[in-house]
Amino acid sequence: MKQFWAFVNKEFLHIFRDRQTILILLLMPVVQVLLFGFAITTDIQNSSVVALDECQTAESRALLKEIESGRYFDIVQYIESDRDIDAIFKKGKVKIAIVIPQDWSRRIGAGQEAPLQLIVDASNPNEASILTGYLQGIAAQFAGLEPVLDVETRMLYNPQLKSAYTFVPGVIGLVLMLICTLMTSVSIVREKETGTMEVLLVSPSKPLYIIFSKTIPYFVIALINIVTIILLSMFVFGVPIQGSIALLFGVSITYIFASLALGLLISTVSSTQQIAMIISLMGLMLPTVLLAGLLFPIENMPMPLQWVSKIVPATWFIDMTKAIMIKGLGIGLIWKQWLILLGMTVLFIGISVSRFKIRLS
Amino acid sequence: MRTFLFLLEKEFKQIVRNRIILAMIIALPTIQLAILPHAATYEIRHINLAVVDADHSTLSAELTAKLSASRYFNLVLAGTSYEQALELLEDGKAHLILEIPPHFEKSLRLTAKAGLMIAVDAVDGTMGSIGSSYLNQILQSFAADLIARGDIAYPDAALQARVQVIPQYRYNTQLDYKTYMVPGILVMLLTLVGGILAALNIVSEKEQGTLEQINVSPVPKQSYLLAKVIPFWIIGLLTLAIGLVIARFMYGIVPAGSLLTLYAFAAVYVVAFTGFGLLISVAAKTQQQSMFIAFFFLLIFFLMGGLFTPISSMPYWAQVITWFNPTAYLIDVVRLIVMKGSGFADLLPQFFCILGFAVVFNVWAIFGYDKTA
Amino acid sequence: MSEAVIKVENLTKRFGDFTAVDHISFEVRKGEIFGFLGANGAGKTTAMRMLCGLSRPTEGHGTVAGFDIARQQEQIKKNIGYMSQKFSLYNDLKVWENIRLFAGIYGMKPKRIAAKTDELLNRLGFMAEKNTFVEKLPLGWKQKLAFSVAIFHEPQIVFLDEPTGGVDPITRRQFWELIYEAVEQGITVFVTTHYMDEAEYCDRVSIMVDGRIEALDSPRELKKRMEARSMDEVFRQLARKAQRSAD
């Protein structure tokens, strides 16, 4: 055991002496949470539109004024002909061209149907249909219609629709995976490459100690990262922790163990640092970003991808973190997910330890 | 010049022999294009909805049926208890709850007005707002149907019909999210090839000690770096070609604009990104460090580059940051070329920005590379 | 006495407040084998890196092959060969490809390279390994190859940083034969080592302790002066004064 702590000490020295790396490891999550928490949002506002007012009456001008007064649209240009529309779209800034036909006012006055034409850049389909919906609402309101259905919408858990609520749990999941899996696997393979691993392995200490001692500093760094991210999210984004902090840490530590075990596993199958990195990147980072519900809802994916997402550890972690932090759920509602994550962790540790032993013999 | 050719020969031999790189060139485009467009989607489809119907009337049943028939929603519950629905929401089994209050039909028929309530699991803010906005659209069209059928006596029934909004969708008439994602993924490919492979390259020579052998020779550092850029440049353009072929056969996406324009941009962009990778490689001490820095920037470049969420939705300060993001320009450009067929003349500002990045990153890498470090 | 190809005066290198090389001065004459001795951490490698233009001196000046080590590093590099203690040929290139690359870098013409490569490989008895990846060679062969590559472009001076680390005595012997052949061609050899038997092969040696040169002469003179039977004893007497520990 004494030997073990000697090794841990050596690993800490390695990492903490390298100020550049330690700075990156500690600051990177902070920068990411800040940037993503504030910047990544699909909340649509101030979309650029152009208007083609062929009607040129007080009414048509009033409608355009109405459109511009809301927070959704900016009329950036009044155009003369619908031939210009395509050229404008091709420059990429403008999303919609609103065309008010020549006889629009007259038709309203005569009680006839008065169509308002929208030419929509539908490259991004969501944006296109949401913006169309907004314009329909504005037009109906302009006509002085009282809506038949008065819909009251309540946004539960996140009334202001802050994107930080979505991203904080996700970024924790991502950062822990990066540090624990990528850094661990690469640092072990690096010792293999430079040959120092051989030196350690022929020493009388237990090989497993040597390997485990490499994971401890990353474990500590990961814990520091969790604390910083949670503090940031509480005090900068005002995301409160609704549930139990102890439970949150319990779940996080399980996830850290799973990630460290994955790092060990990758190190046993890769012969060079580059291979370890590619496996970490392709096998873990991409699935974590894409399939774990960090950015995209899992239920929208086709069935096979949903199955894959179930074997990504981050899926369960992010799910639980959201439940604990934001919904304030207790252990009664998340124990199943926790058990699954725990099972994965045990499995990964088991495989990597047995693989490591095989390699030695 | 002859020195340069010797170096170039060496880089090519090394790259061709590196099985990881060869695997990446083939596997990366295939896997990413096969999986990403399906995974990375905000397309609303089968979003889980619970309906709490406290009215039990013909109209409330009709509304429930309309929602369940919609391709946007997946009815997970049609019950009477709000608590039960809330439980589903907490469990993550439902995203939205629609509550139809008692006397819904009566109120509609008597006053042509009725209230409804939507509760959204807004932990995922994006899904919350997109989902509720789609739900709202269906509700409004339900109301319009009722008026049109004369089921309810709307005082201004004539007006409703008068102002009509007729949308005409261009470029992506099927409103298919995949068509939107594929061009972005092509950019991702170019970035990964240039950025990651180059970021690992010089630093790995540092670790192996061969860089010192180069440093102690009279090789000019520009030649050395240029010899590194060229193979990645070719690989990048090759990856793009493979990506375009896959996009064609898997998704039927053929660029509307000119391939030449597309390649002109890609060529400059790969030079920019390889320069960026080499810059990291020159600055980093170990491959581990350089990989970590590369990941850090790549995540920022992608997530803040309009790949998944529109830049126009970001707060202003974040939009300012995206001006310094080369990936943001190329994602924009490739979408414009592939989907709308924009020409080179339309895209001049973006071209000069990307060219600027190419110059800055590479010059910076040359100055940053100190042979007598 | 022949002319000096390396001249150094008060050469100093500091890293922060640590003085790795402390005001050393010496000359190396054309055509000699100059041994640069010292314990680990004595500052040998740092000093040598300054001479090769890999590191800038903090103080002092010097010339290598007639060029200033502080200002004309790229000129110096054209006239020297270098072999580091860390093996530094490309593992993923074949034997002939490594030779071609480094010869090409020093401006040799492809035809000349090809002819000289075959001549070299024949002389070393390596012809069968021409198309072998360097990675696959045994360590001793790698080092002989690395040395041959370092002098392939016929530099005035070749710098060898602990060239025989980790190889068996027979291979070391063969390696020194290569060094003598290089000297016969008129190449000056500057070699660091901590094998004291190798020091006996040098024309003159300098011994560094704690960043300073404590002794500089021919092995025979040094032994005589310190009344020692072997260079090993000379070294131990001098090294006893060391304050710095080897890392």
Instruction: Check pLDDT > 60 for residue C192.
Output: yes
A36, A43, A55, A165: best to mutate for the B interface, most B CBs within 10 A: A43
Which SS3 state, helix, strand or coil, does residue B59 take?
helix
Residues of chain C with C-beta less than 8 angstroms from the C-beta of B13: 92-93, 97
pLDDT digits (tens, 9 = 90+) for A235-259: 888 777 888 889 999 999 999 999 9
Mean pLDDT of B260-270: 93
Query: Which residues are A47's β-sheet partners?
Result: A73
Residue A202: per-residue pLDDT: 67
C47 and B365 Cβ atoms separated by less than 8 Å: no
In chain C, the number of structural domains is 1
Q: Is A132 exposed, middle or buried (0-12, 13-18, 19+ CB in 10 A)?
A: buried
Residues of chain B with C-beta less than 8 angstroms from the C-beta of A156: 89, 119-122
Mean pLDDT of B240-251: 91
Assign residue B306 a region (left: φ > 0; alpha: ψ between -120 and 50; beta: otherwise): left
pLDDT digits (tens, 9 = 90+) for C85-119: 777 788 888 999 999 999 988 888 889 999 999 99
Percentage of residues in chain B having pLDDT higher than 90:
18
CA-based R_g, chain B, Å:
28
Which among A119, A126, A157 has CB closest to B122?
A157
C12 and C181 Cβ atoms separated by less than 8 Å: no
A45–B38 C-beta distance less than 8 A: no
Stretch among A136-145, B132-141, B200-209, C135-144 having the lowest mean pLDDT: A136-145
Query: Which residues are C191's β-sheet partners?
Result: C35, C160
pLDDT digits (tens, 9 = 90+) for B39-63: 877 766 778 899 999 888 888 899 9
- DSSP state at residue A325: I
Residue reference for tokens 């061009």:
B183
pTM: 0.82
- For the beta sheet containing A114-121, the strands, ordered from the edge strand earlier in sequence to the opposite edge, are A73-78, A47-53, A96-100, A114-121, B163-170
Which SS3 state, helix, strand or coil, does residue C79 take?
helix
Residues of chain A with C-beta less than 8 angstroms from the C-beta of B38: 301-302, 305
Residue B333: per-residue pLDDT: 92
Q: CA-to-CA distance for B25 and A264, rounded, in angstroms?
A: 27
Alpha helix (H) residue ranges in B18-164: 19-39, 58-69, 82-90, 104-111, 125-149, 157-162
Q: CA-to-CA distance for B303 and A38, rounded, in angstroms?
A: 12
Residue C244: per-residue pLDDT: 66
Residue C203: per-residue pLDDT: 92
Q: At what angle are helices B221-251 and B177-192 packed, to 10 degrees?
A: 160
B212–C86 C-beta distance less than 8 A: yes
pLDDT digits (tens, 9 = 90+) for C205-219: 998 888 888 888 888
Mean pLDDT of B11-24: 82
Instruction: Check pLDDT > 80 for residue A159.
Output: no
Query: What CA–CA distances, in Å, run from B29 to A347, B26, B185, B308?
Result: 31, 6, 9, 18
A148, A281, A305: best to mutate for the B interface, most B CBs within 10 A: A148
B10–C90 C-beta distance less than 8 A: yes
Which SS3 state, helix, strand or coil, does residue A328 take?
coil
- Which of A113-117, A137-141, B328-332, C83-87 is most confident? B328-332
Domain extent listing, chain B: 2-40+177-368, 47-162
Residue C227's contacts (CB-CB under 8 Å, 6 or more residues apart) are none
A174 and A314 Cβ atoms separated by less than 8 Å: yes
Which SS3 state, helix, strand or coil, does residue A152 take?
strand
Q: What is the mean pLDDT of chain A?
A: 82
Residue A146: per-residue pLDDT: 66
B217–C102 C-beta distance less than 8 A: yes
Q: How many CA atoms does the CB half-sphere of A89 hold within 13 Å?
A: 25
A36–B339 C-beta distance less than 8 A: no
Specify the CATH number of the domain A47-142. Answer: 3.40.1710.10
Mean pLDDT of A347-353: 88
Instruction: Check pLDDT > 60 for residue B160.
Output: no
**Two tokens, residue C183:** 């000297």
Pairing type for strands C33-38 and C188-193 reads: parallel
Q: CATH 3.40.1710.10 region(s) of chain A? A: 47-142
Q: Is C194 exposed, middle or buried (0-12, 13-18, 19+ CB in 10 A)?
A: middle
Which SS3 state, helix, strand or coil, does residue B341 take?
coil
Chains that touch C (3 or more CB pairs under 8 A): B
Q: Is residue C143 part of a domain?
A: no
Instruction: Check pLDDT > 80 for residue A6.
Output: no
Residue B174's contacts (CB-CB under 8 Å, 6 or more residues apart) are none
Amino acid C236 reads R
Residue B31: count other Cβ atoms within 10 Å of its Cβ. Answer: 12
Question: Residue C247's pLDDT band (boundaries 50, 70, 90)?
Answer: very low
Distance from CA of C85 to the nearest CA of B (A): 9
B124, B174, B280: best to mutate for the A interface, most A CBs within 10 A: B124
Q: Which residues form the domain of C44?
A: 4-89+153-239
Residue reference for tokens 């190798």:
C198
Residues of chain B with C-beta less than 8 angstroms from the C-beta of C86: 209, 212
Residue C246: per-residue pLDDT: 46
Q: How many CB pairs under 8 A join B and C?
A: 78
Percentage of residues in chain A having pLDDT higher than 90:
10
Distance from CA of C241 to the nearest CA of B (A): 31
Taking the Cβ of residue A303 and every Cβ of chain B, the question of whether any pair is shorter than 8 Å is answered with no
Residue C245: per-residue pLDDT: 54
pLDDT digits (tens, 9 = 90+) for A133-155: 888 888 877 776 666 777 777 77
Distance from CA of B369 to the nearest CA of C (A): 13
Q: How many CA atoms does the CB half-sphere of A197 hold within 13 Å?
A: 20
Residue A78's contacts (CB-CB under 8 Å, 6 or more residues apart) are A50, A51, A52, A53
Q: CA-to-CA distance for B210 and B218, rounded, in angstroms?
A: 14
Q: How many CA atoms does the CB half-sphere of B300 hold within 13 Å?
A: 22
B6, B15, B371: best to mutate for the C interface, most C CBs within 10 A: B6
**Two tokens, residue A40:** 């990544």
Residue B8's contacts (CB-CB under 8 Å, 6 or more residues apart) are B227, B230, B231
C78–B218 C-beta distance less than 8 A: yes
Mean pLDDT of C110-129: 90
Residue B356: per-residue pLDDT: 95
Residue reference for tokens 């530099």:
C155
Chains that touch B (3 or more CB pairs under 8 A): A, C
C101–B213 C-beta distance less than 8 A: no
Q: What is the mean pLDDT of chain B?
A: 85
A326–B42 C-beta distance less than 8 A: no
**Two tokens, residue A102:** 């020549």
Residue A346: per-residue pLDDT: 92
Distance from CA of B9 to the nearest CA of C (A): 8
Instruction: Check pLDDT > 60 for residue A323.
Output: yes
Q: CA-to-CA distance for A278 and A282, rounded, in angstroms?
A: 6
Strands (E), chain B: 47-53, 73-79, 96-100, 114-121, 163-170
H or E segment at A77? strand A73-78
Residues of chain B with C-beta less than 8 angstroms from the C-beta of C97: 10, 13
DSSP per position, C197-219 = HHHTTSSEEEEEETTEEEEEE-H
Q: What is the mean pLDDT of chain C?
A: 87
Output the CA angle C199-C201-C205, nearest 5 degrees.
45
For position C56, which CATH number holds? 3.40.50.300
φ, ψ at A122 (rounded to 5°): -95, 20
Residues of chain B with C-beta less than 8 angstroms from the C-beta of C68: none
Question: Residue B155's pLDDT band (boundaries 50, 70, 90)?
Answer: low
- State the ipTM, two decimals: 0.82
Taking the Cβ of residue A141 and every Cβ of chain B, the question of whether any pair is shorter than 8 Å is answered with no
What is the SS3 assignment for B85-116?
HHHHHHCCCCCEEEEECCCHHHHHHHHCCEEE
Residue A351: count other Cβ atoms within 10 Å of its Cβ. Answer: 15
H or E segment at A229? helix A207-235
C103 and C113 Cβ atoms separated by less than 8 Å: yes
**Two tokens, residue B241:** 């070609």
Architecture of domain B47-162: 3-Layer(aba) Sandwich (3.40)
Q: Is residue C60 part of a domain?
A: yes
Pairing type for strands A96-100 and A114-121 reads: antiparallel
B371–C101 C-beta distance less than 8 A: no
Q: Is residue C193 part of a domain?
A: yes
B210, B214, B221: best to mutate for the C interface, most C CBs within 10 A: B210
Q: CA-to-CA distance for B370 and B212, rounded, in angstroms?
A: 11
Which among B39, B136, B340 has CB closest to A123?
B340
Pairing type for strands B47-53 and B73-79 reads: parallel
**Two tokens, residue B194:** 């240039």
Query: What CA–CA distances, in Å, run from B312 to A43, B175, B317?
Result: 9, 19, 11
Which among B3, B208, B214 has CB closest to C104?
B3
Which SS3 state, helix, strand or coil, does residue B373 take?
coil
Residue B317: per-residue pLDDT: 86
Query: Which residues are C80's β-sheet partners?
Result: C157
A305 and A291 Cβ atoms separated by less than 8 Å: yes
Mean pLDDT of A42-65: 85
Distance from CA of C147 to the nearest CA of B (A): 12
The alpha carbon torsion through B56, B59, B62, B68 (nearest 10 deg) reads: -70
C47 and C247 Cβ atoms separated by less than 8 Å: no
Helix then strand then coil, in percent of chain B rounded to 5, is 70, 10, 20
Residue B244: per-residue pLDDT: 93
Cα C34 off chain centre by: 9
